[in-house]
Amino acid sequence: MSWFNQARYGMIIHWGPYSVGGRGEWIANRELYSKKDYTTEFVEKFTAENYDPRAWVKLAKEAGMGYLVLTTRHHDGFCLWDTDTTDFKSTKIGAKRDLVREFADAVREGGLKVGFYFSMADWFHPDYPGAHRRDWPDSWPDEAARQRFVKFYCTQIEELMTRYGKVDILWYDGCIPSPTDGTAINTCIKQLQPGILINNRNGAPHDFHSCEQAIKPAPAGHDWEACMTLNENWGFHAGDHQWKNARAVLRMLIETACSAGNILLNIGPTSDGVIPQPSVDILREVGDWLRRNPGWLADSDRSPFTWNNWGRITVKGNRIYLHIFNGTGPRLRVADIGNRVLRAYRLDGGAPVAFRQSNDLVILDGLPWPLKDPIATTIVLEVEGTPQTTRTQTSFWIPE
Ligand code: GLC
């Protein structure tokens, strides 16, 4: 897991024929498209004419991300690689290109980690129960259909695991009724791709927990990742302008780092392969801040410190990072510090900050005031030993 925890921040890309519609990735299901109409309206027009995965990789690097995860197929079942299992694929219709191969090559060439998102759902497959008129079917019509479908999806995964070089993450999504034979296929994946990480959406063995649109840390001892949209949709949506700003993204990163988790942030390129400008601008701004405030994110440890009213505290090694969101003056009282503080300084630029310590209370004085950074002002406390809190009660009572 070391590279995963080192990265703490990655990009997920929802891109497929639905991007043509510009109404999110559930269009086939929500708007009850037949496969025929979906093909003529969207798949044939999914031509990817400006697809340049190197530009995606470049942006991910500028943003400070360590890995990229591409929807090799979403719930519409359309494959972005040259599969032998169906003609419903990008090498046959629309783009006439193996989009997965170009993606994997570009990510590896850029020195980042390659992730494949794979939805097991398949709204148009004859053996997928309820086809596309149901959200998540809960049972198979019969055992023979189940076996055929499981064989179908496992064959597709096997292709992805054997034809595209080293794959670093298999990112499952899209429930299908159980049993999915997940343990058998995951065991096989581990043999085909030693070192690959698998999320927990198709049973054990898996390597990390995944939560969606919420920061829900996995219990201590478990690695985890929260996937988040940048607006309110995963796939490109022409009418969705509800962008999170750089400040919101950084707060999510800080919040997640407090519990040693990762953020997998979504982008939804247009059907030609271009990342919407607002996404580009936000990611660049986040990257700029991370470059000015380096070191706290990669490999952050679980923070023992509880809540306060001014910001968040992340920890790493013998450093405590005070991320101040709501400053109220040049002085900050930080309680519950169980270590002797050796040094205090601003992360951005390294200017020392005066402090005094009385037992577990540290009083910082002479903080730059007013705080100029609208995102956060981060102060580093270098301490003796591993950061510890003196507070024994970390939760508080809320009346029912
Ligand atoms: C939700 C969406 C799905 C998306 C996924 C990412 O489940 O319904 O379309 O791919 O989130 O985790």
pLDDT in tens, 221-244: 999 999 999 999 999 999 999 999
- CB of 211 closer than 6 angstroms to any ligand 1 atom: no
Residue closest via CA to ligand 1's atom 12 equals 212
How do residues 337-363 score in pLDDT, each as one tens digit?
999 999 999 999 999 999 999 999 999
CATH architecture under which domain 311-383 falls: Sandwich (2.60)
Residue closest via CA to ligand 1's atom 2 equals 234
Q: Report the alpha-carbon distance of residue 208 to residue 264 in Å, rounded.
A: 13
| Secondary structure element (H or E) that encloses residue 140, with its range | none
Given a contact cutoff of 8 angstroms between Cβ atoms, the answer to whether 338 and 388 are in contact is: yes
Given a contact cutoff of 8 angstroms between Cβ atoms, the answer to whether 203 and 215 are in contact is: no
- 234: CA distance to ligand 1 center in Å? 7
CATH code 2.60.40.1180 region(s) in the chain = 311-383
Nearest one of 139, 26, 140, 157 to 100, comparing CA atoms: 157
- CB of 171 closer than 6 angstroms to any ligand 1 atom: no
- 30: CA distance to ligand 1 center in Å? 14
- 150: CA distance to ligand 1 center in Å? 21
Report the mean per-residue pLDDT for the chain: 95
How do residues 73-93 score in pLDDT, each as one tens digit?
999 999 999 999 999 999 999
Which atom of ligand 1 approaches the CA of 174 most closely?
7
pLDDT value, residue 397: 65
pLDDT-based confidence at residue 141 (cuts at 50, 70, 90): confident
pLDDT value, residue 176: 86
CATH architecture under which domain 2-292 falls: Alpha-Beta Barrel (3.20)
pLDDT value, residue 114: 98
- Say which DSSP state 87 is in: S
Which atom of ligand 1 approaches the CA of 75 most closely?
9
Give long-range contacts, CB 8 A cutoff, 24+ apart: 175-178. Answer: 175/120, 175/121, 175/136, 175/201, 176/120, 176/121, 176/128, 176/137, 176/149, 177/129, 177/137, 177/138, 177/139, 177/140, 177/146
CATH code 3.20.20.80 region(s) in the chain = 2-292
**CA dist 113 → 65, 103, 108, 118, 371 (Å):** 10, 11, 7, 16, 36
- Say which DSSP state 179 is in: P
pTM above threshold 0.85: yes
Q: Report the alpha-carbon distance of residue 298 to residue 112 in Å, rounded.
A: 14
